[in-house]
Amino acid sequence: MTTKTEPPAVDRSKLSTPTGDAKRRARRRGIRSEVGLFAKLGHLALAVWAVIVIAPILWTFLASFKNTTEIFSSPWTLPGELRWENWGRAWTEARVGRYFFNSVIVVAAGTFGTMLLGSMAAYVLARYRFVGNRLIYYVFVSGLAFPVFLALVPLFFVVNNLGLLGTHTGLVLVYIAYSLPFTIFFLAAFFKTLPTSVAEAGMIDGCGHTRLFFQVMLPMAKPGIISVGIFNIIGQWAQYQLPLVLLPGGTEDKWVLTQGIAEISTNAGYEADWAGLFAALSMAILPMIIVYAIFQRQIQSGLTAGAVK
């Protein structure tokens, strides 16, 4: 009768030879060095990008305090004095104050309408299942691939036939339609990340669909709402093509800021008020910088929360 002998136990600690450990440590050091190299290259690229973006804005702001001689003779030096009269002249004589007020009205109404309609549509498309759901969603999203300038001519005739050409109402409606695709695309993905249990608890407590949306789900989507809202404000504030077509000549009192600045830059040829022009540009740039600086954390949290389901 033969007896089976158990194989001797293997000491796994002996399997890791000094040579193997050294190779693994060298490999880890190589990976860390590669990661560190790419991180440094990324920081360098971000620094270059920051200079490219910040330098023109800073130059414009400094030029708004110079006179025409300083702008052309010493463009890279600091202004001799702070000439606030350039800003006052642009605000009153160049009617930038009026254009600024018009822009605030149009952008405020356009952003409010966009966020209201876009959030409701995105919520329904994200949380409810019905026939044609995906088709409607893709129709909205397809608007992202449609260049605005291709629709300028038919848009002009549509707004004109509605009797809204040369009015802020017509421009606001077009802003809303222009901004809805991106708003629905972003918020639909964001609403999908919200917990279903909260919605079910609200329905059990007696909330109807409308109350559930406005009192429960919309507050939970606040980070995404703020993020998309800021992007819409910046996009509508800087819009030039649509106001140029929908607020034609003869309606100067209703022009927005971009039209007013373009008029200043082309109005007087070589005798243009360059200091006033740069002051007007600074007035157009500063509000968006301030808005972004105030809501920077909300924008980042909204983008991060909506990126992962």
Residue 309 has pLDDT above 50, yes or no: no
Residue 279: count other Cβ atoms within 10 Å of its Cβ.
28
Q: Are 112 and 183 in contact (CB under 8 A)?
A: no
- The pTM of this model reads 0.81
* Domain residue spans of the chain: 22-73, 86-307
Which residue, 165, 163, 141, is CA-closest to 152? 165
Q: pLDDT digits over 204-231, tens only?
A: 888 888 888 898 888 888 888 988 999 9
Residue for token digits 């490999």? 27
Residue 196 has pLDDT above 80, yes or no: yes
Reduced to 3 states (helix: H, G, I; strand: E, B; else coil), residue 76 is: coil
Q: pLDDT digits over 28-50, tens only?
A: 766 666 667 778 888 889 899 98
Which residue, 178, 284, 291, is CA-closest to 230? 291
Question: What is the CATH T-level fold of the domain 86-307, as seen in this structure?
Answer: MetI-like fold (1.10.3720)
Average pLDDT of every residue of the chain: 84
